[in-house]
Structure 1
Amino acid sequence: MRISNRSKISIYNSINMMLVLILAGGIFAFLLEDRFNLLGDFSYLFIVIPAIMLVAFYLIGRQIFEYDSDGEALNFRNRNIVPFIDKPLSDEFPKYKLISYEIVDMFLIKRLYVKVSSKNTGSTMLKYEISYLSKKEIKDLKFSLNKVVTTNNEKKELIK
């Protein structure tokens, strides 16, 4: 199963550009505030509110998430639309190494934690930001990962 929100890059770029332009307009309005006196003592809000909105857009998480479970491996890719803000994540490992997963939903922020078996440390926890996935995409992701975890658990039971 493949899940990707790469087709929404243009929407995220538009939102990003709109927020940057609002911030630039806020800075311009702040500099001209003494001439028009629109907000009086609260003129700093022209800069603070757009800056908070822009920071929130990036703190919610990386915008682009791609998942591929076709074949014998699981592929996860997570990246930002602005390449220099965060380092992109890219992991590929065999399906049999997947131990468990957990999706944490904290208001606007959604994270996927994947536990993978490892020779050196026993297990490794991988973290992906899935805040920008739709509910249907998250449901499909859960279905696919449940299927892999169930298959792995059944194989472990057969070995015992």
Structure 2
Amino acid sequence: MRLSNRNKASVYNFISTLLIMMTVFGILGFLANKYRFNALGNESYLLIIIPVLLLAIFLLNGRQIFEYDSDGEALNFKNRNIIPFLNKALHDEFPKYKLRKYDIVSVFFVKRLYITVSSKNNGATMLKYQISYLTRKEVNDLKISLNKVVKANKEKKD
């Protein structure tokens, strides 16, 4: 099964550009109000606070693009940001039989995928992916696919 939200990259790029522009214009509006017009008073701080808060929420939500591929004998996970220099892109590929378990944690508007993979050195390795920008249907499809792999691995063990 293949799952990707790469086609939404232009939407995320537009949103990030819009938020950056709102922040810049908010700062310019604040400075113009503070040193020239003085029309808003203390409310002029909202010109900076609101856009910066929205931009911080967008960036703290995690990497926007998530790709998953379970076709064949390996599992592929890719997680990257639309702005390449912000975070290092994650790319992991491993055989299906190494997948032990997975967990999806959702706190407010942030979703994370934790995958436990068996390894030779220390028994298990935890891989972390940010899936906040996946829709509910995409998350459910991901769960179904990972459940199949985990179930098949448990049957082979027994």
Same fold? TM cut 0.5 = yes
With structure 2 as the length reference, what TM-score do the two structures score?
Answer: 0.97
Q: TM-score, with normalisation over the residues of structure 1?
A: 0.96
Q: 2:88 matched to which residue of 1?
A: 87
Q: After alignment, is 74-83 or 49-58 more displaced? A: 49-58
Task: Give the alignment of 1:27-66 within 5 angstroms.
Answer: 27-34=27-34, 35-66=36-67
Residues in 1 aligned to 2:127 and 2:39: alpha-carbon distance in whole angstroms: 49
| Match in the other structure for 2:74 | 73
In the other structure, the counterpart of 1:18 is 18
2:109 is the alignment partner of 1:108 = yes
Q: How far is the alpha carbon of 1:31 from its aligned partner?
A: 1.1
Aligned to 1:6: 6
2:69 is aligned with what amino acid? D
SS in 2 for 1:46: helix
Please provide the CA RMSD for this pair: 0.8
Shift of 1:47: 1.3
Give the partner amino acid of 2:154.
N
Deviation, 1:42, is: 3.0
AA of the residue aligned to 1:4: S
Query: Which position in structure 1 is the counterpart of 2:126?
Result: 125
Task: Supply the AA of the counterpart residue of 2:100.
Answer: I
What amino acid does structure 1 have at the position aligned with 2:59? Answer: Y
User: What 5-or-longer segments of structure 2 have no aligned partner?
Assistant: none
Deviates more, 1:42-51 or 1:113-122: 42-51
Paired residue secondary structure (2:93): strand
Partners of 2:126 and 2:59 in 1: CA distance: 23
Q: How many residues align?
A: 157
Q: What is the CA-CA distance between 1:112 and the residue it aligns to? A: 0.3
Partner letter of residue 30 of structure 2?
A: F
Taking the aligned partners of 2:136 and 2:28, their CA distance within structure 1 comes to: 39
Q: Which amino acid aligns with 1:22?
A: M
C-alpha deviations, 1:17-60, integer Å up to 9, x for none?
10011011101101111333332023222112111111110101
